[in-house]
Each structure stands twice: as C-alpha cells, then as structure tokens.
Amino acid sequence: MIIGVVILIFIFGWVNTFIAELIWDFELEDDWKTLGIHGLELFVALLAVGIPSVIVTYLFPSLLADIVLFIVYIPIDGYVAYVIAKQFNRPPPPVVPYAQY
C-alpha cells in the first residue's frame, strides 16, 4: 500500500507538471526529486481542501450533493494545482538587450 501511495504521489506531480506546461506555459523541472516533492505537496493540499467535501457528503448523502460538490470543486482544485505548479516554475532567462552601435 505504501508503494502505491508513493507511485500515486509521483503521478500527481507528473500530471500537474504536464498540465501546467500545456495550459499555463510554465517551465517546470521534471526530475524525479522535483516530481516527488511537487506531487506530495499537491496531494496534501488537495486532501486538505477536500475536507469540507467529505463533511458535506456525510451530512447530505445524495447524488445531487455529489454533483454540486463536483462542479464547485473543479475551479477550487484547479486553482490549488495552479498555485502549487507556480511555486515550481523556473524564472524566465533574463532578456539581454542588443548592443547599440
């Protein structure tokens, strides 16, 4: 089970890196250490953000509550993933102006 969680954390890091490079044009490192830290941070953040969803689902167990929570949590989870990916974004190289002759 521990191996499965570790693999899941690396998958979280890789998927968020791929999506951040595809959608937001971030330049992220993709070595295994960075992917592991990235995935762990994203896993913990999404777990923390999802606590109210668990409480609402426990209090109102219905399909309607699940659909509403799914729709509400799409932008929330997306924003969390964006902020996590932004932390791992490499700064762009400095722009060197052409020499004026």
The domain ranges of the chain are 2-87
The encoded tokens of residue 17 equal 């890196």
Choice among 1-10, 21-30, 75-84, 86-95 with the minimum mean pLDDT: 86-95
Q: What is the number of other CB atoms lying within 10 angstroms of the CB of residue 42? A: 23
Angle in degrees, 0-180, between the axes of helices 32-49 and 63-87, rounded to the nearest 10: 140
The residue among 28, 39, 30, 37 whose CA lies nearest residue 90 is: 28
Helix, strand or coil, per DSSP, at residue 28: strand
pTM above 0.95, yes or no: no
pLDDT for 59 beyond 90? yes
Q: What pLDDT is recorded for position 89?
A: 86
